[in-house]
Amino acid sequence: MSEAISPRVEAHLITSRRVCGLLVVYRWLSLAPVVVALASASLTPNLPLSLAAAVALNLIITLAAQPAGAALRRWPLLLLGDLALCGGLIWLSGGWDSPYYLYSFSPLLAAAFFFQWRGAILGAAGMAAFFALAGSGQAGAGPAWLKLIEELTGYFVMATVFGSAATLLARYTKSLVELNRAHRDLEVIHQLTLALQSAADVVEVEECVLEAVTNDLGFPRAVIALVDQQENVLTAWLGKARDGRAMFAGGLPHPIRLPLTPDAGAIAQSLLAGQSQLAANGRLTSNEQVNTYLGPEAYHIFPLQLRQHPVGVLLVDASSGDDPSSLHSLHAVGNQAAVAVGTTMLCVDRAQRLAVQDERIRIARELHDTASQSLFGIVFALDGLGKLLPDQPQMVKVELEQVRDLAETTRAQMRQSIMDLWPSALTAETFEADLRRFVTQTCRAGELQMDVQVRGAFARLSPLHRRSLYRMAQEALTNVVKHAHARRAEVLLEIGASQASLSVRDDGRGFDPAGALARERDRERFGLRGITERAASLGGVCQVISAPGAGATVVTSLPLTDAHELPPPLRR
C-alpha cells in the first residue's frame, strides 16, 4: 500500500487527471475563431504572430499537462502569467474585437477547477483588467463600451458558474475520498477483529496488530509492548517492518523491562499521562538497548488503555508524515488493539487463577483421600495402644508393627503427591513405566503380573488430561493391590478422535460396586470415589463393573475437547 495522502490532496489528484485533459482540449478548440479570422479577407497585421505564440503555448501545455497542473497547484501565481499572455494576444489582435475572446477563458477555467470559486472570481477580475487595458486605445465610441461591458460580464458569469461547479465537485470528491478512507478503516478493523478472535495468546494479538499497521495501513515500521501490571514495567517488546523484518532480536517478544516512571523516557511518560505523542524523537526510553532497536527515527506514541488502565503501547514510524486521515486510522486500530490486548490479558489472568484454584482443590482432595485418612488411623490406633499399656505388651507390639506399616504407606503417598507438584513431561513411554514402578515400589504388589498399553496419539492429550488419567490409573491399581487379591491386572489407555478411554481390569475376588460406593465412610473405597470425581471434573464418566468372584473393571471416558484445557501462559 502506498503512503497515505490527505483527502484534499487526493481529491485534487483525482479531478486534475481528467480536468487537465479537458482544459487542453478547450485551449485548442478556442483557437477556431482565430483561424477563421486569419482566413478572412480583413486580416489583423499581428494575427499570424499571435496565433503562432498561442499554438506554441498550447503545444507546451499539451506535452506537459500533468506537470503543468502540479506546478499550478504549487505556484498559483503562474495563472497571472497566463492571464497576461491572453491580454497580450488580445492587444496584438484588435483589442476588444479580438478573436481571442474565447481563448481568454482558458486561465479562468483553470483557476476555477484548481482553486474553486474564489480562484475563479480572482481570475475573472484579473482577465477583465487585462482585457480592458488591451482595448483601451479603441475606447472612444459608445458601442465599444457596450461591447466591453458585455464581454466583462461574460468573464464573471462564466467564473461564477464554473467556480461553483468546481467547488461542489471538489467537496463531493473529498467526501468520496473520506468515505473510502472510512471504509478502509472499517475493513482493516474488521479483519483485525477476526484475526484477534482466533488469537490464542497475547503474543498473537501483538502480531495481528503489527500486521494491520504495517501491511494494511502501510506504515514503514511498528512496535508494540505490554504492561506487566504486577511489576509496573513495560515488557514483551515486539516490532515488525513493512517488509516483514523483525525489529527485535529473535523475532519473539523481547523481555526487556522498562519501568513506568517519569524519568524512563517519552514512552513511559505518554503511558503515565494516557496521552498520545506525535512524531516523538530523542530520548524515547531510558534503556539504551530499546533505543538501539528502535533506531533514530521519530515515532507516533499511542498508549493502549482499557477502562483507563494502561495495558500496552503502540509505536508507529512517523517518517510517513502526520496526515490526519492516517492518524485517525491509527487511533482506531489502537483502540481495537487496547480492547483485544486487555481482554486477552484478563482472560489469561483469570485462567491462571482458576488453574491455581483447581490445583489447590486437587491437592486437598488427594491429601484428604490419602494422608488425612491414614493419619487419622494412626492417631486412632496410637490412642488405643496407650490404653493397652502396660497390661498387654504383646498385643501392643503387634499393633505397633501395623501402625508402622501404615505410616510407611502414608510417607510414600506424601512423597508421590509432592512429586506430582512438579510433574515432568509425561509421554506414552513414561506413562507405562511409571505405573509399573508405582505398583512395584509403592504398592508392593508382590506376585501381581501387570500389563500396561497405550493406543492412539498420546500427544493429543493436554497436560491436564495426561496427569488426571495417570492419577486415576494409580488409584485404581492401588485398590487392586490392596483389596483384589489378584494375580493379573491390565491397564489400557485408548486415545480416539473425540475421547480418551482408560480401563483397569483385574482377575481378583471382585465386589459389589453399588454397595461399595454407597458406604460413605469406607476408607477402602476412597480411590473409586476419587476416580469418579476426577472424571466428572473433566466432563467424563467412570463406570465400575464387578461382581463377587468375577474380578473388576474400572472404565473411565474423558471427552477430548478444548473446554477443559488451559490457555498457554503469557510469554515474557
Q: How confident is the model at residue 491 (pLDDT cuts 50, 70, 90)?
A: very high
pLDDT tens by residue, 176-187: 767 776 676 677
The pLDDT value given to residue 388: 73
**Cα–Cα distance for residue pair 316/301, rounded to 1 Å:** 7
Task: Answer for the pair 251, 219: CB distance below 8 angstroms, yes or no.
Answer: no
Cα–Cα dist 96/54, whole Å: 18
What is the distance between the alpha carbons of residues 263 and 240, in angstroms, rounded to a whole number?
27
Q: Are 120 and 112 in contact (CB under 8 A)?
A: yes
When mean pLDDT is compared across 152-161, 224-233, 351-360, 538-547, the lowest value belongs to 351-360
Mean pLDDT across 340-350: 71
pLDDT over 80 at 386, yes or no: no
Return the pLDDT at 43.
56
The answer to whether 419 and 467 have CB atoms below 8 angstroms apart is no
Q: Which CATH superfamily is domain 423-572 in?
A: Histidine kinase-like ATPase, C-terminal domain (3.30.565.10)
What pLDDT band is residue 199 in, cutting at 50, 70 and 90? low
Q: Where residue 391 falls among pLDDT bands split at 50, 70, 90?
A: confident
The predicted model scores a pTM of: 0.43
In the prediction, which pLDDT does 3 show?
41
The mean-pLDDT minimum among 219-228, 306-315, 387-396, 540-549 falls in 387-396
**Which of 46-50, 233-237, 547-551 has the least mean pLDDT?**
46-50
Contact 537, 434 (CB under 8 A): no
pLDDT of 365 reads 67
Angle subtended by helix axes 393-421 and 324-367, to nearest 10: 170
Looking at residue 425, what is its pLDDT?
63
Inter-CA distances, 305 with 82, 225, 343, 470, Å = 56, 12, 11, 44
Q: Which of 92-96, 138-142, 144-148, 328-332 has the lowest mean pLDDT?
A: 138-142
Enumerate the domain spans of the chain.
7-176, 201-351, 423-572
- Predicted confidence at residue 504, as pLDDT, reads 94
- pLDDT bin (cut points 50, 70, 90) of residue 144 is low
pLDDT of residue 48: 81
Cβ 504 vs Cβ 470: under 8 Å: no
Ranges 17-26, 133-142, 502-511, most confident = 502-511
Residue 130 is predicted with a pLDDT of 82
pLDDT of the residue at 8: 46
Q: Looking at per-residue confidence, does 268 or 216 come out higher? A: 268
State which of 116-125, 144-153, 497-506 shows the largest mean pLDDT. 497-506
Among 202, 193, 197, 262, CA closest to 228: 202
Is a pLDDT exceeding 80 seen at residue 157? yes
What is residue 109's predicted lDDT score, i.e. its pLDDT?
A: 82
Q: Please write the tens of the pLDDT for every residue from 527-566.
A: 777 788 888 888 899 999 988 888 899 999 999 864 334 3
Summarised one tens digit per residue, pLDDT across range 465-490 is 888 898 888 888 888 887 888 889 99
pLDDT-derived band of residue 223, with 50, 70 and 90 as boundaries? Answer: very high
Question: Residue 16 above 60 pLDDT?
Answer: no
Give the model's pLDDT for residue 502.
94
pLDDT of residue 1: 37
Q: Would you identify the CATH topology of the domain 201-351?
A: Beta-Lactamase (3.30.450)
Q: What confidence category does residue 371 fall into, taking pLDDT thresholds of 50, 70 and 90?
A: low
299 has which bridge partners? 280, 317
pLDDT at 443 over 60: no
Distance CA 122, CA 133 (A): 17
Please check the confidence at residue 494 and state whether its pLDDT lies above 90: yes
Nearest CA to 206 out of 184, 235, 239 is that of 239
Judged against a pLDDT cut of 50, whether residue 211 lies above it is answered with yes
Residue-level pLDDT at 140: 45
Residue 477 has what pLDDT? 86
Predicted local distance difference test score (pLDDT) of residue 500: 94
Which position has the grid cell 473388576? 552
CB-CB contact of 527 with 369 (8 Å):
yes
- Which of the pair, 386 or 487, is modelled with greater confidence? 487
